[in-house]
Copies of this chain bind each other. A is one copy, B any other.
Amino acid sequence: MAAPADIENQSGRKITRVVPIPQTISAEAQAVLAGPPSPYANVVPATPEAWKALIAEINASTWTNLIQPALARYPVTVERREIAGVPVAVVTPKSRTAPANNRRTLLNIHGGAFIVNGGRQAILEAIPVASLLRMPVVAVDYRMPPEHPFPAGLQDSLAVYQALIRGQDRRRVGVYGTSAGGNLVVAMLLRARAQGLPMPGAVALVSPWSDIGPVGDSLGTNAVIDPTLVHYNGLLRAAAELYAGGTPLDDPRVSPVYGRFGRWFPPTLLLSGSRDLLLSGTTRLQQRLVEAGVVTEMQLFEAMWHDFPVSYGVPEAATGWQQVAAFLDRRLGR
C-alpha cells in the first residue's frame, strides 16, 4: 500500500448531481438527511482554550439533544466510580438485571472524535445497551485532548479492562464502542494481546474510526452525503491530529486498522450505515479481520450516517442498539 496521500490532492471523477433523499428509511431519518449539515464540520480551534470552548459547547448540545432523549427512552441509573484509578460511570437498568447476565461484564468506550463526550456525557452509549440487555454497563470516562493526547485514553481504557477481566471468565466479558471509541476498543485489544491479557468473549463496533488518517474511499464518496461529519478536512482532521499528538496517523496504535490481527481476536460485530463518512473504517477493518480468520458479523444500514445509533430520535437508532445487544447476548458466555 502506498503512503497515505491527502484526499484533496488526488485525481478522481468529477461529480455534479443531486443526491435524492431516499424513501427507504424512516421519516425522521429523511429529515436528518434533508436538514442542514453539522455546524461544527469546519471549525478548527487554534488554541487549547478554543478547543475547550468548542468541546464544552458540543457537550452541552449532546446532553440536551442526545442524552436526555436517551435517558427518557431507556430507564437507567448512573453511578460514578473509579476503577484502577480511572473515572467510570456504571449505568444500571431500572429493571432488574436479567438472571442470564448475572455473571457477565460489559465495558463501553465512548466515541466523540477523541475530544467530546467526556465527563457526564460518557454514558451516551452505555444507556441503551444497559437497558436493552438488562445488565450494568461500565463506561470509561477516559482522558482526552487537548490536555491528554494519545496514549492517555488508551492507557485509561486498558487499565479498566484489565481490572474488569481479572478473575473473570473472559468469555463472559464484552467490549463495545462507537467511532473513536471503536478505535480505542481495537487499539486497546491489540495492546492487551501484546501484554498477554485475555481477550473478551465478543466485541461490537459501531462506525469504528479505525484509520484516523486521510485514507479510505468513503472520505470521498460519502463527503457531504453524510450530514453529521460532512467531510474529513476540517474538525475531524484537526481532532485526529490533536489526539495523535505527533504520532504518525498510520501508526497502528492510533489507527488500529494497521494492526496485526489473528484468530485470537474475538468475534466482532461491525455496524454502520451506507452514508457513513467513515464507512471505510468499517469495510477495511472487516477485511483485515476476515483475512486473519476472525469471525465477523456486519450490519449495514440503508442510508444511515456516521454513528447513527446515537441519534436517539431516529427509529433506526433503536434498531441499531437492538442488534448490538442481540449480538452481545448471542456471543457472550452465560
Contact = CB atoms under 8 A, between A and B. Distances in A.
Copies per assembly: 2
Among A1, A297, A303, find the residue whose CB has the most chain B CB atoms closer than 10 A.
Answer: A303
A149 B54 CA distance: 60
A22 B303 CA distance: 21
Contact of A221 (B10, B19, B215, B300): B19
A103 to B, nearest CB: 26
Contacts of A215: 23-24
B20 A1 contact: no
Contacts of A227: 13
Interface of A: 1-2, 4-5, 7, 10-25, 33-34, 215-218, 220-225, 227, 274-275, 279-280, 282-284, 286-287, 290, 296-303, 319, 323
22 contacts: A1-B23, A5-B23, A10-B18, A10-B20, A10-B21, A10-B23, A13-B33, A13-B225, A14-B18, A14-B19, A15-B16, A15-B17, A15-B224, A15-B225, A16-B16, A19-B221, A24-B284, A221-B221, A221-B303, A274-B283, A280-B302, A300-B300
